[in-house]
Amino acid sequence: MNARVLVVEDDEDIRLAVSAELRAASFTVDAAGSLAAAAAALDATGAHDCAVFDRMLPDGDAIGFVDERRRQGWAVPVLFLTALDSSSARIEGFEHGGDDYLVKPFVMAELLARVMNLCRRRDSRPPVLRHADLEVDFARCEVRRGGVLLSLSNREFAILEYLATRPGMAVSRADLVEHCWDLENEPTANVVDAVVKRLRRKLGEPDPVETVRGVGFRLS
pLDDT of 38 above 70? yes
- The pLDDT confidence band at residue 86, using thresholds 50, 70 and 90, is confident
CB count within 10 Å of CB 50 equals 26
This prediction's pTM: 0.63
Domain positions in the chain = 4-122, 128-219
pLDDT of 187 above 80? no
CATH topology classification for 128-219: Arc Repressor Mutant, subunit A (1.10.10)
Tens of pLDDT along 70-85?
888 788 899 999 888 8
- The pLDDT confidence band at residue 9, using thresholds 50, 70 and 90, is very high
What is the mean predicted confidence (pLDDT) over 153-179? 84
Q: What is the CATH number of domain 4-122?
A: 3.40.50.2300
pLDDT for 17: 95
